[in-house]
């Protein structure tokens, strides 16, 4: 009986992670002051804005596996995406924002405390991919 309860608890937890509704207002908001840094469960990058860079970053995000745009547009100057982990489907949120002469990129997890560096790696890979395309 304990095994059945344990299995049901695990399945329920996994279902919650996968099916919990996304509060777009919570994730798609102005980033405020930002600098290139990594923290526990989040990463930020700030790069100089150049012509078409936000659009190129948007296309790069859409090319990532298990990633979809949930709010915003290039014209709006702020875009927010959800990327889910392959196995369990843990959601991470990434926001790109044009702010004057800078573009801010901010990736963070929704559940837990540590992302094991996944968001920083995603942002760095995105930037490297876009830079390579532009060269």
6 lies in a domain?
A: no
Q: What is the CATH number of the domain that holds 30?
A: 3.30.310.80
Greater confidence (9 vs 75) lies with 75
Q: What are phi and psi of 95, to 5 degrees?
A: -120, 135
45 lies in a domain?
A: yes
Based on the structure, what is the number of domains in the chain?
1
CA angle (125 as vertex; 121, 131 as ends), nearest 5: 150
Which pLDDT value is given to residue 21? 80
Nearest-angstrom CA–CA distance, 94 and 115: 13
Under the banding of pLDDT at 50, 70 and 90, the label for residue 4 is: confident
35 lies in a domain?
A: yes
Answer yes or no: is pLDDT of 46 > 70.
Answer: yes
17 lies in a domain?
A: no
Q: Is 116 helix (H, G, I), strand (E, B) or coil?
A: coil
Are 24 and 71 within 8 A, CB to CB? Answer: yes
pLDDT tens for each residue of 50-97? 999 999 999 999 999 999 999 999 999 999 999 998 888 889 999 999
- Identify the domain containing residue 77 by its residue range: 23-134
CA angle (61 as vertex; 124, 104 as ends), nearest 5: 60
34 lies in a domain?
A: yes
């Amino acid at each position: 009986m304990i095994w059945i309860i344990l299995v049901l608890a695990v399945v329920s937890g996994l279902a919650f992670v996968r099916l919990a509704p996304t509060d777009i207002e919570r994730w798609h908001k102005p980033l405020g002051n930002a600098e290139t840094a990594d923290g526990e469960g989040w990463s930020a990058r700030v790069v100089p804005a150049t012509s078409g860079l936000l659009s190129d970053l948007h296309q790069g995000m859409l090319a990532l596996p298990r990633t979809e745009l949930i709010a915003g547009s290039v014209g709006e100057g702020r875009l927010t995406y959800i990327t889910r982990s392959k196995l369990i489907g843990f959601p991470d949120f990434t926001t790109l924002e044009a702010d004057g002469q800078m573009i801010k990129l901010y990736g963070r997890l929704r559940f837990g405390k540590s992302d094991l560096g996944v968001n920083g790696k995603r942002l760095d890979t995105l930037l490297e991919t876009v830079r390579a395309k532009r060269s």
